[in-house]
Amino acid sequence: MVPILLWVDHMKTKSLTKIFTVLSLGVLTGLVGCASTSGQPESGKDIASTGPTIMNARTTPATIQLNQHMLPTEKPAVTADVKDFNHKIADVKLKFIHVPVEVPMENLGGTTWRATLTPEQLQLLAVTGKTVRYEANVVASNDKGQTAITQAPITISIKAPELPTGGAS
């Protein structure tokens, strides 16, 4: 009876060691992945040698707050850098995923482009009393018809207030 108990105890220790090793590797892989993507400078290898490249797409503010009149408290914008070493950028737009909303982007100078969401677009996307998160891509085309899209969608959050009900008392 004692040899069986020793064998069971040995197997438990062996299993725990395997589990701990697998978990440790998973945590280390996650930490290395986070360290390599956040706050690191862009690499020249991330820029396409032909056609447009979209980099550094971002939303300001991070969450678009609407007031009681369903108007933004700050001017909301999505900006991105669009580069093409061989051809002129002809068109850049912000295209929402899963909803039929598309916003043209304007060139601010150099490689910086901006989409400004109008109050009407924000009201269309807002849900009273909720924060809704949408995903969108920046899409750029050059004068030769080559097109690029952001590598990962950007998140656009819109927070609308709870509006008072107008019921009679």
Query: Is the alpha carbon torsion for 140, 125, 158, 74 positive or negative?
Result: positive
Q: Which of the two residues, 98 and 169, has the higher pLDDT score?
A: 98
pLDDT for the residue numbered 19:
45
Q: Whats the size of the chain, residue-wise?
A: 169
Domain with 136, as residue range(s), is: 50-159
Contact 53, 83 (CB under 8 A): yes
Locate all alpha helices (DSSP H) within 38-152, ordered by sequence. 119-125
In a domain, residue 59? The reply is yes
pLDDT, greater one: 83 or 23: 83
Taking the C-alpha atoms of residue 139 and residue 9, their distance in angstroms, rounded to an integer, is 60
Residues facing residue 137 across a β-bridge: 95
CATH of the domain at 87: 2.60.40.10
Whole-number Å distance between alpha carbons of 148 and 145: 10
Claim to verify: residue 57 and residue 124 sit in the same structural domain:
yes
Number of domains in the chain: 2
In angstroms, rounded to a whole number, what is the distance separating the alpha carbons of residues 93 and 114?
Answer: 9
pLDDT at 168: 52
d(CA 12, CA 33): 32
What is the reported pLDDT for 119? 95
Pick the more confident residue, 49 or 77. 77
Do 97 and 129 belong to one domain?
yes
> Is 88 in the same domain as 146?
yes
- 8-58 pLDDT, tens digit per residue, is 454 455 554 454 444 443 433 333 333 333 344 455 556 667 789 999 999
| Start-to-end C-alpha separation, the chain | 80
How does pLDDT run across 85-96, given as a tens digit for each residue?
999 999 999 999
| Same domain (yes/no): 8, 77 | no
